[in-house]
Amino acid sequence: MSDDRVLEHILNPSAPVGASLAKIQDDPEPKTPEEIEAKRLEVAAVNFAEAGKYPESQAQFNAAIALAPHLGSLFNNRAQLYRLQGSNDAALEDIETALRLSGGVGKTAMQAYSQRAMMHMLNEDEEAARQDFERSAELGGKFAACQAAKLNPYAKLCNQMLEKAMQELQ
């Protein structure tokens, strides 16, 4: 088995040996002038958020959503801003909108499922988190595949047994 296949099996242990994570399906390219401008504003909003300029980021996201309210990535990325600000209810609302607009497929859905899973973890709901991480992993999310494996009850048991065996060998 190649190193890549071994790594894929570690990241996605519930999949059959030899299976690999799905290739991430890109969201559709912006076509209309409104969509193109909304995507430009989205990039600016993300840059503001990364610089800690949350009010400026919020204004850019709101302007982008006003131009293209059908683009799920705008809501998903604004949800991240809300999470950074501690506004988890607003974040969850935007995540749900992003999932609805994406139809549960593509890069936006993959990211939104992971974000929602992280919110479930904050609320100590590991089962809901695992389910969303698995959905994200099915869409190609490697981070999500790792997290789903960690939350898998069988993987937890296996890791405990392995840890015990390693301790006994020392």
pTM (two decimals): 0.77
Query: Could you list the pLDDT tens digit for every one of the 170 residues in the chain?
Result: 444 454 455 445 554 444 455 677 777 788 999 999 999 999 999 999 999 999 999 999 999 999 999 999 999 999 999 999 999 999 999 999 999 999 999 999 999 999 999 999 999 999 999 999 999 999 988 888 888 878 877 666 676 777 777 788 87
**pLDDT tens digits for range 86-99:** 999 999 999 999 99
Residue 25: per-residue pLDDT: 74
Q: Is 47 helix (H, G, I), strand (E, B) or coil?
A: helix
Phi and psi at 70, nearest 5°, equal: -95, 0
- Measured distance CA(149)–CA(161) in Å, rounded: 15
- Measured distance CA(140)–CA(109) in Å, rounded: 10
Rg over CA atoms, the chain: 19
